């Protein structure tokens, strides 16, 4: 504390008024408090209890892990203010000895234990905060007012001397309290914590003494002091401690043993300890499952309990921090323009299905752009400016325009009555749906990346295990078992994205057909996702089998060939698969929506600079359930080799990289 020594070397305090080196004064100040359970409970001693330590650690680490950002208010919204002096102090480095995480962790730990946290503030020549140094709460005593009516803080230096700090040099963070000082949760709840500590000590003593409650040895005669000491010593040596538990006792000369006390099961020892853990969790408002108490936790409610932890436990602390920073660390003229705020979005992230559905709603209703979604998923913005575009639903108008609704209806009626260029409408519809492919591509890439990385890692591991000992048969059998199981994994990973995607495609088709009601695809999405999982894994397994057959025939190293193939897949397969499935899924989901709306015919529509094969198909119209090309046929294009069709092609894409879309005809 060199800073304090330099600043307050000449200040004196009447030590008769405050002497924190005297234990009796500590008791008067409330720093040493005995409990009815017979143990003294202080913030320091309570940290020796597992439940208290866990609660304090959870609060401290959670708050410390959240980014603390200094913002500048704008006329509409806000932006980060990295040039403000507080930005670096709060976000990166509060002082030369501590990281921002360590600093916030320390202060939050003090708040959780003492209800107060004190920080010495160092300023530069312009009056801006330069450094923040945490102060020990157990060495701090607040004096409310000095002779001039200003608040001062008295701090005990490590050598025992006292230093006086004016209120402008102390950042005082307070928890629940009387408005000037926070209440210590440990002190207020010392009886509950003391009971828990006492139960813990009892258990340790119980097992340390051999897991038996004390008893008495009786002798029919009288024992002199030497005989008494010898009998007691030999008994404790033979039967005290865990290593001597349950040993047979041999008693001589009429000595008998009679147990006394209450057995731990009758005293409900374990139940008491379990209840006290829940009681301590209640004090700090920590969900029991975060203390490894899963008795009432289920997979369905843990996520909601975690969100409640953020909303009802962490958020009030964050508000205290944010408002205290504004009041104590910012100049008065700055408060209207700048503010500090914690980012809690990461703690509130739901499961992948919930997130993607929420993104879909926000994107379709115009308050999220593709780049907004990518930022929330920790992705970089799209390389072009398309990512910043906000969509507006076609069937929504401002409330102020309702007065002109009759005129707008008449205009729409005139538009519908006018001749329609079907080809132009088809291409416009295809372009809008192709935009969805671009917007949802990052989500598909995230999912395909996860199941491809899993696939690559598992196949590599199995290849080394079986092919490393030249057991090719075992490896091929493993591939069959693995891909049968992997199909379910792919299905479960892909389904949430497809559900959100289906909603977006359905809304696009609704707008295209100008339908008043939105039709849901129903169970088709689940069926499509399961089919995709099977289709993908069958294709992958067959590719590996074909590879093995080829390299075996050529006499090459099978293990090296498989590992090289895995490296190639790891690098390129996620993007390839994401692009292909975003395109295929868009068209498949659109066909379901068309059929639900009663459309009977479909059109193959090309966009951009289509390849010769797609150009050949452009404008082709067939019945809604008829394939554009049957299995076994091929596409003939001038100057190109025929493109064989291996399945009934009911919709695009015709090949990798195909941007064609199916539209209503």
**Cis amide prior to 653 (ω within 30 degrees):** yes
pLDDT in tens, 244-287: 555 555 555 556 655 545 454 444 545 555 666 778 888 888 88
Tell me if 574 sits within 8 A of 448, measured CB to CB. Answer: yes
Has this prediction a pTM greater than 0.75? no
Span 308-315, average pLDDT: 83
Tokens of 314: 């962490």
Q: Is residue 143 pLDDT above 70, yes or no?
A: no
Q: What is the DSSP letter of 421?
A: -
Tokens of 651: 């919709």
Tokens of 174: 């307070």
- pLDDT value of position 238: 60
Confidence at 560, pLDDT banded by 50, 70, 90: very high
Confidence at 31, pLDDT banded by 50, 70, 90: very low
Most confident listed range (18-22, 194-198, 547-551, 625-629): 547-551
Span 304-326, average pLDDT: 85
pLDDT in tens, 607-626: 766 688 888 888 889 898 88
What distance in Å separates the CA atoms of residue 548 and residue 543, rounded to the nearest whole number? 9
Residue with tokens 């006292």: 162
Phi, psi values for residue 479, rounded to 5°: -60, -40
Extended strands (E) in 491-548: none
Confidence at 101, pLDDT banded by 50, 70, 90: very high
Span 224-229, average pLDDT: 71
**Nearest alpha-carbon partner for 426 in 583, 599, 580, 585:** 599
**Nearest alpha-carbon partner for 381 in 391, 367, 371:** 371
Q: Is residue 142 pLDDT above 70, yes or no?
A: no
How high does pLDDT run on average in the chain? Answer: 77
Percent of the chain residues topping a pLDDT of 90: 21
pLDDT in tens, 201-220: 766 665 555 544 456 556 66
What distance in Å separates the CA atoms of residue 500 and residue 585, rounded to the nearest whole number? 12
- pLDDT value of position 222: 67
Q: Which long-range contacts (CB under 8 A, 24 or more apart) does 126-131 make?
A: 127/331, 128/85, 128/86, 128/331, 129/85, 129/86, 129/89, 129/329, 130/85, 130/89, 131/89, 131/94, 131/95, 131/96
Q: What is the DSSP letter of 95?
A: B
Pairwise pLDDT comparison (389 vs 655), residue with the higher score:
655
Span 382-391, average pLDDT: 68
Tokens of 563: 């590992």
Confidence at 399, pLDDT banded by 50, 70, 90: very low
- pLDDT value of position 28: 38
- pLDDT value of position 89: 93
Phi, psi values for residue 297, rounded to 5°: -90, 145
What distance in Å separates the CA atoms of residue 566 and residue 514, rounded to the nearest whole number? 47
- pLDDT value of position 255: 61
Greatest CA span in the chain, whole angstroms?
A: 123
**Nearest alpha-carbon partner for 326 in 174, 171, 123:** 171
State whether residue 662 is helix, strand or coil.
Answer: strand
pLDDT in tens, 47-56: 877 888 889 9
Confidence at 355, pLDDT banded by 50, 70, 90: low
215-227: b (≥16 Cβ within 10 Å) or e: eeeeeeeeeeeee
pLDDT in tens, 442-498: 889 989 999 999 999 999 999 999 998 888 888 988 998 899 899 989 998 888 888
Pairwise pLDDT comparison (238 vs 39), residue with the higher score:
39
- pLDDT value of position 360: 73
Least confident of 39-53, 67-81, 219-233: 219-233
Phi, psi values for residue 621, rounded to 5°: -120, 130
């Amino acid at each position: 504390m060199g800073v304090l020594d330099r600043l307050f070397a000449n200040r004196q305090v009447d030590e008769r008024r405050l002497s924190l080196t005297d234990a009796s004064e500590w008791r008067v100040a409330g720093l040493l408090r005995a409990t009815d359970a017979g143990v003294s409970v202080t913030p320091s001693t309570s940290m020796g209890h597992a439940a208290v330590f866990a609660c304090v650690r959870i609060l401290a680490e959670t708050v410390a892990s959240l980014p603390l950002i200094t913002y500048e208010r704008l006329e509409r919204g806000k932006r980060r203010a990295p040039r403000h002096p507080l930005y670096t102090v709060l976000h990166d480095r509060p002082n030369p000895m501590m990281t921002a995480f360590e600093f916030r962790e320390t202060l939050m730990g003090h708040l959780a234990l003492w209800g107060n946290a004190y920080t010495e503030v160092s300023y530069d020549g312009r009056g801006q905060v330069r450094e923040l140094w945490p102060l020990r709460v157990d060495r701090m005593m607040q004096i409310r007012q000095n002779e001039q009516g200003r608040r001062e803080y008295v701090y005990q230096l490590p050598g025992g001397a006292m230093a006086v700090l004016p209120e402008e040099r102390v950042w005082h963070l307070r928890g629940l309290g009387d408005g000037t000082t926070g209440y210590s949760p440990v002190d207020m709840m010392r009886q509950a914590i003391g009971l828990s500590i006492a139960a813990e000590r009892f258990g340790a003593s119980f097992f340390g003494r051999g897991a038996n409650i004390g008893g008495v040895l009786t002798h029919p005669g009288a024992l002199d002091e030497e005989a008494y000491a010898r009998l007691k010593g030999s008994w404790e040596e033979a039967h005290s401690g865990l290593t001597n538990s349950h040993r047979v006792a041999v008693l001589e000369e009429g000595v008998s043993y009679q147990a006394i006390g209450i057995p731990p099961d009758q005293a409900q020892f374990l139940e008491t300890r379990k209840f006290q853990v829940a009681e301590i969790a209640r004090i700090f408002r920590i969900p029991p499952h975060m203390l490894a108490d899963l008795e009432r936790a289920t997979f369905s409610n843990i996520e909601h309990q975690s969100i409640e932890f953020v909303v009802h436990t962490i958020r009030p602390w964050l508000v205290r921090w944010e408002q205290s920073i504004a009041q104590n660390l910012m100049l008065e003229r700055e408060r209207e323009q700048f503010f500090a705020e914690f980012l809690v979005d990461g703690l509130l992230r739901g499961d992948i299905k919930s997130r993607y559905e929420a993104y879909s709603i926000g994107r379709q209703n115009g308050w999220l752009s593709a780049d907004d979604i990518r930022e929330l998923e920790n992705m970089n913005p799209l390389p072009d400016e398309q990512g910043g575009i906000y969509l507006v639903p076609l069937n929504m108008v401002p409330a102020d325009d309702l007065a002109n609704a009759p005129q707008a209806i008449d205009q729409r009626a005139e538009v519908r009555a006018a001749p329609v260029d079907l080809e132009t409408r088809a291409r416009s519809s295809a372009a809008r749906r192709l935009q969805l492919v671009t917007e949802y591509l990052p989500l598909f890439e995230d999912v395909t990346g996860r199941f491809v990385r899993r696939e690559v890692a598992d196949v590599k591991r199995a290849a080394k295990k079986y092919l490393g000992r030249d057991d090719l048969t075992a490896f091929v059998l493993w591939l069959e078992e693995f891909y049968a199981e992997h199909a379910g994994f792919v299905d479960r990973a892909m389904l949430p994205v497809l559900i959100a995607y289906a909603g977006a495609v359905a809304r696009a088709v609704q707008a295209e057909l100008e339908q008043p009601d939105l039709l849901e695809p129903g169970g088709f999405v689940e069926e499509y996702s399961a089919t995709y999982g099977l289709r993908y894994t069958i294709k992958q397994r067959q590719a590996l089998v074909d590879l093995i057959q080829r390299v075996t025939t050529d006499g090459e190293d099978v293990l090296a060939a498989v590992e090289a193939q895995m490296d190639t897949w790891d690098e390129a397969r996620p993007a390839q698969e994401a692009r292909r499935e975003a395109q295929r899924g868009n068209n498949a989901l659109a066909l379901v929506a068309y059929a639900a709306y009663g459309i009977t015919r479909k059109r193959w529509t090309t966009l951009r600079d289509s390849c010769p094969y797609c150009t050949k198909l452009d404008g082709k119209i067939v019945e809604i359930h008829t394939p554009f090309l049957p299995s076994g046929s091929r596409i003939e294009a001038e100057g190109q080799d025929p493109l064989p069709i291996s399945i009934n092609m009911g919709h695009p894409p015709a090949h990798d990289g195909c941007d064609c879309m199916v539209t209503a005809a």
